[in-house]
Amino acid sequence: MVRPRIYMFILFMFAIGCTGCSRESSYRSEQPVESSATMLKVLYATVEAGSEAVINASENYEQQTGIDVEISTFPYNSLQEKVFTELSRMSSEYDLIAVDTPWMPKIIQYLEPITPYIQQTASTTEIDDFIAKLFLDTSVYDKNMPQRAPLAMDTVNLDSITAAGFDVWSLPIQSNVLTVTYRKDLFENEANRVAFKKRFHRELSIPSTLDEYEDIAKFFTRDNNQDGLIDMYGTTLMAGKHEANFVDFKSFLHIFGGKLFNENLDPVFNSESGVKALETYGSWILKDKVTSPDVLSYTWDEVEIAFGFGQAAMGMNVHDMKLHPKVHGGQVGYFMLPGVEHGGTLVRGPHFGSWGLAINKYSEHKEEAYQLANYLTSADVQRDYLRFRQHVTRKSAYAAAKTVPEESVREYYEVLGRSLNIGVGRPRIKNYDQISETVQTAVQQYLTGKKNARTALDDAAAKVGKLMKESGY
């Protein structure tokens, strides 16, 4: 059986599995290889990348192939340290490795390009079934210039990828994107609908713009008990000094038409668009007060807790959120992160990032490792992942999600799939962590009144420019 080795556990999480569905995958390799491996070792994340679904699929793989699979799971920071350590010492201990997109520019030299393997198993790999935007962002790189963005395409085409000087370095297994979970019961309440229309002269409905979102957030920020205390806020944000803070700002930045870097990798997030994005973000916390003041320390974990216990009507996160049973009558729904109109065009820019399965360059079982990765990301297996609420990466899996019995699950997959098609990935740079932390600090400096938005971003851009030069860009 699969031997999952769990090193740490997340202290707080809501149950995310759905019930009532179970079936094994029917995947078979087009050309099964005569394996020399009796065991494959996988270095993987915990809940961040859907470990439960992957462990279950690996057990099925063992039954089909007779190859033992040992999955060692680590929470994010520990996994990053473990991956970097194993690869830097050229260890062959692990055959297959879960890689988050920000790590790729640093470790690509230690990975095995999988383009030749795909070419040998084209019909079973079916790379054109992956959502093109996330496949290109997750898996397609130029080894010698990892910062180079691949060609845009609506359908993945391996010939076009290789002709442009790129290779495929992983197979996408899990993708996260910033979406909104909301209290559907509050939106559908007739008294709320009447009161909202009277105040804002329009229907209480899913917002498409940030202005509409803010109106709804203002409406639901209220003192329900008339005791001078706010019992519910309109929304949550992730404004703590943390990667979640960077995800929030980055999304607002793109919504307002800005970007982190230009084509020469010069920082440009201190543009007018960047200042507007930060001031808008800050106004929800400081001026309009539609969030709890505690959001200055929130990450995605605290957001999940606050929303789950009914403290907010809407909440942004990179996964779906649930309500605690004590929130009687509560129902959740989901919608895409709203945008801003530019010249009559609605621009959205939700952050997204993916996990890919990559082959360790030093593995003694590369062919077998690819066969396992191919299986774990295959169309049949991804459809089975739906019962675990895995953030699947194939178009066919999202098509299958339309038939899931639970309405809220169908709704989430519909929103997730649409958002992944328009999401904005991270910059492809070796010093990503430094850049993220610098921007996080700038956001916090503004939100805590230490600097105005312009000064905070200008100072951060100057520091980022220096860091980029030091890293050879």
Distance, in Å, from the CA atom of 107 to the CA atom of 338, rounded to the nearest integer, reads 35
Q: pLDDT value at position 223? A: 79
Q: Around Cβ 253, how many Cβ atoms within 10 Å? A: 26
Burial class (CB within 10 angstroms; exposed 0-12, middle 13-18, buried 19+) of 427: buried
Q: pLDDT grade, residue 29 (50/70/90)? A: very low
Q: pLDDT value at position 18? A: 37
68-74 vs 3-6, strand pairing mode: parallel
- pLDDT of residue 171 exceeding 50, the answer is yes
Q: pLDDT value at position 1? A: 52
pLDDT digits (tens, 9 = 90+) for 400-449: 999 999 999 999 999 999 999 999 999 999 999 999 999 999 999 999 99
- pLDDT of residue 30 exceeding 50, the answer is no
Q: Is the dihedral of CA 281, 285, 291, 292 positive or negative?
A: positive
**Greatest extent of the chain over all pairs of C-alpha atoms, in Å:** 72
Q: pLDDT value at position 227? A: 72
Q: pLDDT grade, residue 176 (50/70/90)? A: very high
352-360 vs 96-100, strand pairing mode: antiparallel
DSSP 135-155: HHHHHEE-TT-TTSPPPP-SS
- Classify residue 18 by its DSSP letter: -
| DSSP-H helix ranges across 224-311 | 243-255, 272-286, 300-308
Mean pLDDT of 9-31: 35
- pLDDT of residue 23 exceeding 50, the answer is no
Q: pLDDT value at position 34? A: 53
Greater confidence (457 vs 15) lies with: 457
Residue with the two structure tokens 């700002």: 249
**Is-contact 255 340, C-beta < 8 A?**
yes
Cβ contacts of 215 within 8 Å, gap of 6 or more:
200, 207
Distance, in Å, from the CA atom of 397 to the CA atom of 382, rounded to the nearest integer, reads 6
- pLDDT of residue 7 exceeding 80, the answer is no
Burial class (CB within 10 angstroms; exposed 0-12, middle 13-18, buried 19+) of 238: buried
Distance, in Å, from the CA atom of 329 to the CA atom of 185, rounded to the nearest integer, reads 7
- Give me the long-range contacts of 408-415 (CB less than 8 A, separation at least 24): 408/331, 408/332, 408/333, 408/334, 409/18, 411/333, 411/334, 412/179, 412/320, 412/334, 413/386, 415/179, 415/334, 415/335, 415/336
DSSP 322-389: ---TTSTT--EEEEEPPBEEETTEEE---BEEEEEEEEETT-S-HHHHHHHHHHHTSHHHHHHHGGGT
- Classify residue 294 by its DSSP letter: G
- pLDDT of residue 465 exceeding 90, the answer is yes
- pLDDT of residue 122 exceeding 80, the answer is no
**Is-contact 44 98, C-beta < 8 A?**
yes
How far CA 440 is from CA of 240, 293, 360, in Å, comes to 8, 17, 32
How far CA 126 is from CA of 58, 121, 248, 369, in Å, comes to 20, 9, 34, 17
Q: Which amino acid is at 205?
A: S
pLDDT digits (tens, 9 = 90+) for 336-387: 999 999 999 999 999 999 999 999 999 999 999 999 999 999 999 999 999 9
Distance, in Å, from the CA atom of 473 to the CA atom of 464, rounded to the nearest integer, reads 11
- pLDDT of residue 8 exceeding 90, the answer is no
Q: pLDDT grade, residue 229 (50/70/90)? A: confident
Q: Which amino acid is at 293?
A: P
Tokens at 221, concatenated: 């920020």
Tokens at 196, concatenated: 């909202």
Q: pLDDT value at position 48? A: 87
